């Protein structure tokens, strides 16, 4: 077991109480809003199965990207307000810092499933490209994220989520950027 695996298990157990503790739909709200892997009751499971919406509860790279964009926008707005009174050169870093921090916090809150590690790694690399004025190459970001995830958590290489996460993204990158 890698250090990340052990940290993930400890983090999932040591989370604070749910803000939805008084709701009859606590497990569902924890999964949708917070990305926590709480167990749904049988009625909720059956409803999701019948409506074909079970996949909406899965944390994906899209969610991490959205959180990164929100963090970047928030710190960018703070930077623009600060720039009215004070103009240090470091304000240029704020969108990247906000994007990276919010993606990392969201992935951490979700318990670092494979898809969020992949997306967070790719976002960090893309924000670094943005900071250095380089155009991110999707295929290179994909390969670097694959290597990073394999080195960070080698026990995940054999899992279905690792294979599906990287193969689905690989097909998208290949079809959109390598024509």
Report whether 173 contacts 139 (CB < 8 A). yes
Tokens matching residue 32: 């949708």
80 SS3 class: helix
DSSP 40: P
116-158 confidence digits (pLDDT tens): 899 999 999 999 999 999 998 999 999 999 999 999 888 888 8
Tokens matching residue 137: 């190459």
Tell me, what's the pLDDT at 26?
Answer: 75
104-141 burial: b if 16+ Cβ within 10 Å, else e: bebbebbbbbbbbbbbbbbbbbbbebbeeeeeeebeeb
Report whether 120 contacts 114 (CB < 8 A). no
What's the pTM value of the predicted model, to 2 decimals?
Answer: 0.74
The whole-angstrom separation of Cα 12 and Cα 86 is: 41
Query: In which residue ranges of the chain is pLDDT below 70?
Result: 1-18, 34-38, 55-56, 179
| Residues 6+ away with beta carbon under 8 Å from 148 | 117, 121
31-61 burial: b if 16+ Cβ within 10 Å, else e: beebbbeeebeeeeeeebeeeeeeeeeebbb
């Amino acid at each position: 077991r890698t250090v990340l695996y052990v940290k993930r298990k400890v983090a999932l157990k040591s989370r604070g109480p749910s803000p939805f503790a008084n709701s009859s739909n606590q497990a569902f709200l924890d999964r949708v809003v917070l990305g926590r892997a709480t167990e749904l009751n049988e009625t909720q499971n059956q409803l999701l199965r019948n409506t074909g919406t079970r996949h909406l509860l899965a944390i994906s790279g899209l969610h991490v990207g959205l959180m990164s964009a929100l963090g970047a926008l928030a710190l960018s707005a703070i930077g623009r307000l600060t720039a009215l009174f004070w103009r240090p050169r470091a304000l240029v870093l704020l969108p990247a810092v906000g994007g990276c921090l919010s993606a990392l916090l969201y992935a951490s809150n979700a318990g670092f499933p494979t898809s969020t590690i992949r997306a967070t790694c790719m976002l960090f690399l893309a924000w670094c490209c943005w900071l250095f004025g380089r155009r991110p190459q999707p295929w290179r970001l994909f390969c670097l994220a694959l290597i990073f995830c394999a080195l960070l958590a080698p026990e995940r290489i054999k899992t279905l989520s690792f294979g599906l996460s990287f193969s689905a993204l690989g097909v998208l990158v290949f079809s959109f950027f390598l024509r």
